[in-house]
Amino acid sequence: MGSSRSLLVAITVGIIVAASAGGGYWWYRSARAGLAVQAPEPGPRDVQPARPDEPLTFTVFVPANGLLEPSGVAARRQPDLQLEAREAIAAMLAGDRGGQAAVLRDLRLRALYLDASGTAFVDLSLPGQKEVHASAWEELLAVYALVNTLTRNFPEIKQVRILIDGREAQTLAGHLDLTRSFVLRQDLVRSQ
């Protein structure tokens, strides 16, 4: 009776060890298979152009009729992300797009910097003007025109900080606190 009980315990332990080893092996194989993730779809910088002088196409967001309107624009291809982001904002602020919005009309892009954490610093200037006159909603749309243009076109950019003349500013038109970082707001974009 004692030997049959020992044999039963040994067989049970053997089954548990075999099941554990099989489960561990299955977990290892499925975890390794999960590492072979599909490559993301290429962004505008990943696709090699047919011609090196072929422009990039960006979606810029401009305030129009109380919301942000997406619009496709072409910009010069640049050698790195920071320069391409600068081109996208310059295209957005161009007279026939962002220049029609009251808040954006007088703004000029001084510089654009990216840090390693995915923050874009957009440095704007107001040539010959000390303040912008606009409603709170117009100011909100102007800020998110910049933010959405960068975060939608460049997945590496996670958030945006806005500077005025190289310094952190409290506000642009007196309503919105610019001392914080801004992230994508899809709810401000007109549905198509």
User: In terms of C-beta distances under 8 Å and separation of at least 24 residues, what long-range contacts does 80-83 make, across chains too?
Assistant: 81/45, 81/114, 81/154, 81/156, 82/112, 82/113, 82/114
- Tell me what pLDDT residue 36 has: 41
Q: Using the structure block, give the residue that is written with the tokens 């332990």.
A: 13
pLDDT tens digits for range 25-49? 666 665 555 444 343 444 455 445 5
In whole angstroms, give the CA distance from residue 89 to residue 67.
Answer: 18
In whole angstroms, give the CA distance from residue 183 to residue 150.
Answer: 10
Domain ranges of the chain: 56-188
In whole angstroms, give the CA distance from residue 35 to residue 105.
Answer: 48
Q: How confident is the model at residue 59 (pLDDT cuts 50, 70, 90)?
A: very high
CA 98-188-121 angle, 5° bins: 60
